[in-house]
Amino acid sequence: MITDKVAFLGPQGTFSHQAASLLSDDLVSYCSIQSVMAAVEREECVYGLVPIENSIEGPVSLTLDSLIHNFDLKIKNEIIIPINHNLLAAREMSVEDVSDVYSHSQALGQCQPYLERNNITAHYTLSTAAAAKKVAETGEGAAIGTLKAAELYGLKVIDTNIQENFNNQTRFVVLDKEDSPITGNDKTSISFSLFEDKPGGLYEILSYFVEADINLTKVESRPSKEGLGHYIFFIDLEGHRLDENISPILETLDEITDFFKVLGSYPVYYEGIFD
């Protein structure tokens, strides 16, 4: 665990807060992804933590767009946490005693089968943390939230892991002004756009990695904001940008693409890396 101040996407009691707690005890909550990034850029905090993709919902577009268009920050680390939803209440009770539940729309959707089986009526809040706070203050109904929220607001955990999909994970990235040195077990994230939309354009780019036997762990695209048909591609690849088999490829891509940016090289996450 590091001792430097870390900015995270608030409020407290969310999954972002849970992930940030693995990094540091000195945490500062911000209300938006851009605010987190700006805090790092202005050096209000040494690091910033924001979500970048979810195994069910896909990429977090705002994070990707902000890294490309608005901020010159690097990915220094990644954290992957399971998204486990829990039923929280202000007092000890059984699931059968719960008639109303509060939470963010995404959490409610992921727990909908459980709510239907138990005849529980769903009510929307701005976040899972807001739901936990409401239940703690009013004592009414229950909330779907994190164990961090239960700890923060003094709530009882009535039931755990009530989500329908047990393969739900969110990947967070730790942002800094510099990325990480070579560790021998690294990942690199890059982005680029092509000069023109032509047959085989993307294939040409990917062929450089194929020929060098470099594994690509993610390939996706986003609108470039320059009109229909114009896209920015994002690639995650195994290895560090300074590795001798990767560095020449990145130099080539910088020359043959319309836009090219290395988002960072960083250690591949494994549970307990920050302990």
Across 119-134, b (16+ Cβ under 10 Å) vs e yields: ebebeebebbbbbbbb
End-to-end CA distance of the chain: 5
Active-site pick, 146, 170, 188, 257: 170
Residue 172 annotated in active site: yes
Active-site pick, 172, 192, 209, 234: 172
- The three state secondary structure string of the chain is CCCCCEEEECCCCCHHHHHHCCCCCCEEEECCHHHHHHHHHCCCCCEEEEEEEECCCEECHHHHHHHHHCCCCEEEEEEEEECCCEEEECCCCCHHHCCEEEECHHHHHHCHHHHHHCCCEEEECCCHHHHHHHHHHHCCCEEEECHHHHHHHCCEEEECCCCCCCCCEEEEEEEECCCCCCCCCEEEEEEEECCCCCCCHHHHHHHHHHHCCCCEEEEEEEECCCCCCCEEEEEEEECCCCCCCCHHHHHHHHHHCCEEEEEEEEECCCCCCCC
Residue 188 annotated in active site: no
Catalytic positions: 170, 172
